[in-house]
Structures are given as C-alpha cells and as structure tokens.
C-alpha cells in the first residue's frame, strides 16, 4: 500500500523539477537570446530559431553554438554566463 502512494509522489517530484528547468530556460532565453532572435523566436538581428529550422541541427551542435558561439557571426558564446546545465536546458527549450 505504501508503494502505491509513493509512485504518484515521485512522478510529481520529477515533473516539478522539469517545470522549473523549463521556466529557467525560458528566463535564460528572454535574458540572453531574445534581443537578437526575437520574443517569438522569429528572428531579428539574429536568425529565427523555429523548430522547423532547428530540427535539421543535432542537439549537441546547438549546445556547442550556445556555449562557444559561431565564428564569423554576431553569435557570441555563453560559456562564461551560463552553466553547462543551463546551456543544456536552453538547447532543450529551443
């Protein structure tokens, strides 16, 4: 009986952490990305970051661009501003 009650609690705890990570990623996007890529990710001075465009790029490559930037472009790296976990969260958010 105790195990049956524990399962829903574990599920809620796991999803509560995911929601916090998603919220943190959204906040990081607003703080660090929105000024170039737009509030709705349609692009501004930087390219659009739409799922249709990003689906062609491997997730590790997205993480590398966020971390290291992109040479010969305005895309700066964020390794000094964001932790590896925050970069992962931002890549997943995109």
Could you tell me the pLDDT band of residue 80, with boundaries at 50, 70 and 90? very high
Residue 53 has pLDDT above 60, yes or no: yes
- pTM for this predicted structure: 0.76
Chain centroid to Cα 26, Å, comes to 7
What residue ranges define each of the domains in the chain, with the CATH number in brackets?
Answer: 2-93 (1.10.760.10)
Beta carbons of 80 and 88 less than 8 angstroms apart: no
Q: d(Cα 94, Cα 62) in Å, to the nearest integer? A: 9
Lowest model confidence (mean pLDDT) among 5-9, 40-44, 50-54: 5-9
Flag whether pLDDT at 3 surpasses 80.
Answer: no
């Amino acid at each position: 009986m105790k195990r049956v009650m524990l399962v829903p609690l574990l599920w809620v705890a796991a999803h509560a952490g995911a929601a916090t990570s998603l919220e943190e990623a959204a906040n990081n996007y607003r703080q660090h990305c929105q000024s170039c890529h737009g509030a709705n990710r349609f692009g501004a001075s930087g390219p659009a970051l739409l799922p249709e465009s990003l689906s062609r790029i491997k997730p590790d490559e997205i993480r590398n661009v966020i971390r290291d930037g992109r040479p010969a472009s305005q895309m700066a790296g964020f390794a000094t501003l964001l932790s590896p976990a925050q970069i992962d969260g931002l890549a997943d958010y995109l």
